[in-house]
C-alpha cells in the first residue's frame, strides 16, 4: 500500500535551506519516492499560518518512506535545515482509509 510523506515548512535562512533542498530529490528517487507537490501555490484553509512551503511525496510502501527518512543520506541533508535554516513538520502516513473495515 502506498505511503505519503507530507512536509510543512517555514524557511528561515534560504541559502542554508537550499543546501538541503538541492540534495533531497536524489535521495527521494533512490528510495522510489515520487514528488506529487513541492513548493507550489497554496491556500491555507484552516489552522495556523506558520508554514509556507508544502511537499507531498508518494512512496510504494510505508517501509520505503521510513527507509528514506531514516537513511544516512537524508539525515545528513536534513542537518542543513535543522541547524536553524528552517522549521519543518514531517508526517508519513499510509494510504487508504484505516477507519473502514
Q: What is the mean pLDDT of residues 11-18?
A: 96
The whole-number pLDDT of residue 10 equals 95
Cell of 76: 545528513
pLDDT higher than 90, residue 100? no
What pLDDT digit, counting tens, does each position of 28-84 carry? 999 999 999 999 999 999 999 999 999 999 999 999 999 999 999 999 999 999 999
CATH assignment of 3-56+63-94?
3.30.70.100
The whole-number pLDDT of residue 42 equals 94
- Cβ distance 74 to 9 under 8 Å? no
Rounded to two decimals, what is the model's pTM? Answer: 0.91
The whole-number pLDDT of residue 43 equals 94
Question: By three-state DSSP, how is residue 52 classified?
Answer: coil
Amino acid at each position: 500500500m502506498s505511503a505519503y510523506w507530507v512536509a510543512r515548512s517555514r524557511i528561515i535562512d534560504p541559502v542554508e535551506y537550499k543546501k538541503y533542498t538541492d540534495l533531497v530529490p536524489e535521495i527521494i528517487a533512490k528510495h522510489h519516492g515520487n514528488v506529487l507537490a513541492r513548493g507550489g501555490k497554496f491556500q491555507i484553509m484552516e489552522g495556523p499560518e506558520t508554514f509556507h512551503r508544502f511537499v507531498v511525496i508518494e512512496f510504494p510502501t510505508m517501509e520505503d518512506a521510513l527507509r528514506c527518512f531514516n537513511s544516512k543520506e537524508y539525515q545528513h541533508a536534513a542537518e542543513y535545515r535543522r541547524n536553524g535554516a528552517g522549521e519543518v513538520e514531517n508526517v508519513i502516513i499510509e494510504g487508504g482509509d484505516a477507519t473502514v473495515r
